[in-house]
Copies of this chain bind each other. A is one copy, B any other.
Amino acid sequence: MVLSTAAEDYLKTIYKLRETGVRAVGNEARGNEARGNEAREGAPVTTQALADGLQVAAPSATAMVKKLASLKLVAHEPYRGVTLTPAGEKIALEVIRHHRLVETFLAEVLGMDWDQVHDEAEKWEHILSEEVEAKIDAALNSPTHDPHGAPIPTLDGRIASDGWQPLLRAGAGDRVTVRRVSDRNPAVLRHLREVGLIPGARLEVLRAAPESGVLELQVEAQARIVGTEPARAVWVSHDGDTPSSNLQNDAAENRK
Contacts from A to B (Cβ < 8 Å): 106, 109-112, 116, 120, 123-124, 127, 129, 131-132, 135-136, 139
Query: Can you report 16 residue pairs joining A to B where beta carbons are below 8 Å apart?
Result: A106-B132, A109-B109, A109-B139, A110-B132, A110-B135, A110-B136, A110-B139, A111-B135, A112-B131, A112-B135, A116-B131, A120-B129, A120-B131, A120-B132, A123-B127, A124-B127
Provide the bound-state CA to CA distance between A116 and B131, in Å: 9
Residues of B with C-beta under 8 A to A116: 131
CB distance from A208 to the nearest CB of B (A): 37
Residues of B with C-beta under 8 A to A132: 106, 110, 112, 120
Provide the bound-state CA to CA distance between A131 and B113, in Å: 10
Residues of B with C-beta under 8 A to A135: 106, 110-112
CB distance from A173 to the nearest CB of B (A): 42
Provide the bound-state CA to CA distance between A116 and B132, in Å: 10
CB distance from A114 to the nearest CB of B (A): 13
Residues of B with C-beta under 8 A to A112: 131-132, 135
